[in-house]
Chain A
Amino acid sequence: MILAQQQRALTMLFKIEARAEPSRQMALAAPLIATGLTIVISSIFFLTLGLNPFLTLYTFFVEPLTTKNGLSEWLLKASPLILIACGLSIGFRANVWNIGAEGQLIMGAITATGVGLFLPFQESGLLLPLMAVAGVIGGMAWAAIPAFLRDRMNTNEILVTLMLTYIAALILSWLVHGPWRDPEGFNFPQTALLPNQGMFGVFDYAYRLNTSIFITVVVVVLTWVFTERSFLGYKMSVGGAAPSAARFAGFSSSASIWIGLLASGAAAGLAGMMEVAGPLGQLSPQISPGYGFAAIIVAFIGRLNAIGIVLGGLLLSLLYLGGETVQLSLGLPSSIALIFQGMLLFFLLASNFLINFRFRKIAMRAH
């Protein structure tokens, strides 16, 4: 009885109410609140594992950035995440849910490698651009399937893009175990190495960071222009936020579906190409540590905005690096990075609530 009264009193203390308009301060504060909460909860988590939380957090978030190699790896991993998230954000804004960027990345890597290994341009300077085009086409083609099925067949794109991801992984496995296996590769399931003309140049031979990062920079700028400054981008966002209003204004949802999926497929395919023509140099059964899925988180952390995505990509890339560092130096499993990713996204989504709603104190009623 008393408890019930207390609960009642507590619920009377604060009231949730919708803000008249989204709060700008909160829009900036929300990601910081989310990151802060993630750090607090993970500290508690480390304590329960018997680890010093300060040392562990330092190893996770700071140590990777103290060396030149760490910085190079940080940007190298952030680049595909940012690239893919830019593509995804265009679809997500229009309520087109491409969850299968991982599959489109794999297909882009496959088509690019196919061009790099088997086309007669091995010595030509054209090889790399051709591979990039092939990667874009591969990713787009794989994303065109769900676009067609959603547009013409009314089929849910979430499930189709996901199923196609599993199929893409199987195609890759078949290629590297079968027809594309390097005959001189001691039976390892991998293709031959790409020719030199089919590789991005590195800035310094000691580190893996390569010139493909400029592509990501260009894509970020293009995404910003498309979403913030173009009429088409605006139309797509309206279609996502208020479908009936958009239909009334004559905006086609069919165009949104195609643009949303093809843009994200192209970005993911290009990212796949950049991975094989960059750090990997060849195809093997595992070519991505889940970049296609993590990019979904990046897109949301960045609030589907190009500049936000850059920050989100840098943060998630740091999570990957930190996961590797704690695995090496503290013997913690790398799955911790995934836990952090999920937790960060949870807190971020929850703190977004503060942008549109506020808690208002109201007078406590006497019982």
Chain B
Amino acid sequence: MDLFVSIFTATIIAATPLIFAALGELIVEKSGVLNLGIEGMMLIGAAFGVWAHFAGLPMFVAVVIAVLAGMASSLLFGVLALTFMTNQYAAGLALAIFGAGVSAFIGRGFGSTPVEAIQPIDIPGLSNIPVIGEMFFHYDPLVYFSFVMFGAVSWFLYRTKAGLTLRAIGESPDSAHAIGFHVIRIRYLAVMFGGGMAGLGGAYLSLVYTPLWVENMTAGRGWIALALVVFAAWRPKRVVLGAWLFGGMTILQLQGQAMGLAIPSEVLSSLPYLATIIVLVLISQNRQAMALDFPVSLAQPFRPKG
């Protein structure tokens, strides 16, 4: 039972950075923009979070700085993709490479110095319930915030007028423009939201999960977040489900290594990547389900006519 509880909670925690980054990218893609640079933005968030922490700033401020850093980096992509109408694949890749470089530069003095991680908070009454308290009410604030963000994104997309506008722009930017919506401006906002969320996901890694700065510490999570959006067929609920699935894979392979299974550690380490491929293949089979919520204008440059 103890093992189950610890795997459960570890899965929730491992999924949190993925939830942040993938929910952000979901909004970006729903607006019709494909930002491949999540890995770079997460790294920038992680590095700036650690930098702010070692600059003596309170943890909350460090997290905010990570979000702002993620946003700022996403603007580099935004200017290229939206204003200069460059190929979005290339612009996203440039951001991924640039982010790896900038984060390595920012974090160069803090290599492997442990960070005092953000601690779990106890909710009076609830956290003391045996098993349940441990499983559901003993997390750091950012885990709860990831659920708040999930609710907010779902509500925004499907229950607000602004969400409807965003989806309309992703479906048909030309008609949205004709009705009088500012396609480019709204896409900029979506890209910045994605950048902020990726920065937050990165900060979660360096300030809570690991918690220290290591070069390239995201280890492909930015790309997995990208895969999650495809896996989720552009629906927020399935983003969270997918994140738990991949979080679970990560934890199971760590457990396997800790238990000293007679399998090379590399085989276990490759499981999350292998699972990503397998899940992508399975999900891509159902073309109808994929098409249902797919933002039709994804990755196509838009230029207002007239």
**A positions within 8 Å CB-CB of B:** 18, 97, 99, 149, 153-156, 158-160, 162-164, 166-167, 170-171, 173-174, 177-178, 293-294, 296-297, 300, 333, 335-343, 345-346, 349-350, 352-353, 357
**B contact patch SS:** helix
Size bracket of the B interface: 35 or more
Q: How far is the CB of A157 from chain B (nearest CB, A)?
A: 10
Q: How far is the CB of A63 from chain B (nearest CB, A)?
A: 21
Q: What's the Cα separation between A65 and B84 when bound, in Å?
A: 35
B244 within 8 A of A: no
- Is the Cβ of A300 less than 8 Å from the Cβ of B90? yes
B245 within 8 A of A: no
Inter-chain contacts of B266 with A (CB < 8 A): 170-171, 173-174, 177
Closest to B107 in A: A335
Q: What's the Cα separation between A156 and B287 when bound, in Å?
A: 13
Q: How far is the CB of B159 from chain A (nearest CB, A)?
A: 30
Which of A154, A296, A335 is within 8 Å of B285, CB to CB?
A: A154
- Is the Cβ of A160 less than 8 Å from the Cβ of B277? yes
Closest to A145 in B: B277
Inter-chain contacts of B91 with A (CB < 8 A): 346, 349
Beyond known contacts A162-B223, A338-B98, A352-B86: 17 more, CB 8 A cutoff: A149-B281, A154-B284, A154-B285, A155-B284, A158-B36, A158-B226, A159-B277, A164-B273, A170-B266, A174-B264, A297-B93, A335-B105, A342-B40, A346-B76, A346-B80, A349-B80, A349-B87
Interface residues of B in 198-241 (CB under 8 A from A): 215, 219-220, 223, 226-227, 230
Q: Can you list 10 A-B pairs, Cβ within 8 angstroms, ordered by A?
A: A159-B277, A163-B277, A166-B220, A170-B267, A170-B270, A339-B101, A345-B90, A346-B76, A346-B80, A353-B84
- Is the Cβ of B223 less than 8 Å from the Cβ of A159? yes
- Is the Cβ of A342 less than 8 Å from the Cβ of B98? yes
Q: What's the Cα separation between A158 and B93 when bound, in Å?
A: 11
**B positions within 8 Å CB-CB of A:** 36, 40, 76, 79-80, 84-87, 89-91, 93-95, 97-102, 104-105, 108, 215, 219-220, 223, 226-227, 230, 264, 266-267, 269-270, 273-274, 276-277, 280-281, 284-285, 287, 303
- Is the Cβ of B267 less than 8 Å from the Cβ of A174? yes
- Is the Cβ of B101 less than 8 Å from the Cβ of A353? no
- Is the Cβ of A333 less than 8 Å from the Cβ of B94? no
- Is the Cβ of A153 less than 8 Å from the Cβ of B85? no
Which of B93, B219, B285 is within 8 Å of A153, CB to CB?
A: B285
Inter-chain contacts of A99 with B (CB < 8 A): 93
Q: What's the Cα separation between A162 and B226 when bound, in Å?
A: 11
Q: What's the Cα separation between A163 and B274 when bound, in Å?
A: 7
Closest to B104 in A: A335
- Is the Cβ of B108 less than 8 Å from the Cβ of A335? yes
- Is the Cβ of B264 less than 8 Å from the Cβ of A160? no
Inter-chain contacts of B101 with A (CB < 8 A): 335-342
- Is the Cβ of A339 less than 8 Å from the Cβ of B98? yes
- Is the Cβ of B280 less than 8 Å from the Cβ of A350? no
Inter-chain contacts of B108 with A (CB < 8 A): 333, 335
Inter-chain contacts of B104 with A (CB < 8 A): 333, 335, 338
Q: What's the Cα separation between A155 and B231 when bound, in Å?
A: 11
Inter-chain contacts of A156 with B (CB < 8 A): 227, 230, 280, 284
Q: How far is the CB of B193 from chain A (nearest CB, A)?
A: 21
- Is the Cβ of A164 less than 8 Å from the Cβ of B277? yes
Q: What's the Cα separation between A349 and B91 when bound, in Å?
A: 7
- Is the Cβ of A350 less than 8 Å from the Cβ of B270? no
Q: A170-B269, A297-B97, A337-B101 are in contact. Are A159 and B276 (CB under 8 A)?
A: yes
Q: What's the Cα separation between A160 and B87 when bound, in Å?
A: 20
Query: Chain A CB within 10 Å — which of B98, B226, B285 has the most?
Result: B98
Q: How far is the CB of A242 from chain B (nearest CB, A)?
A: 13
Inter-chain contacts of B223 with A (CB < 8 A): 159, 162-163
- Is the Cβ of B102 less than 8 Å from the Cβ of A154? no
- Nearest 5 A-B pairs (CB), nearest first? A342-B98, A338-B101, A335-B104, A339-B101, A345-B94
Inter-chain contacts of A342 with B (CB < 8 A): 40, 94-95, 97-102
Query: Chain B CB within 10 Å — which of A162, A297, A336, A340 has the most?
Result: A162
Q: How far is the CB of B54 from chain A (nearest CB, A)?
A: 16
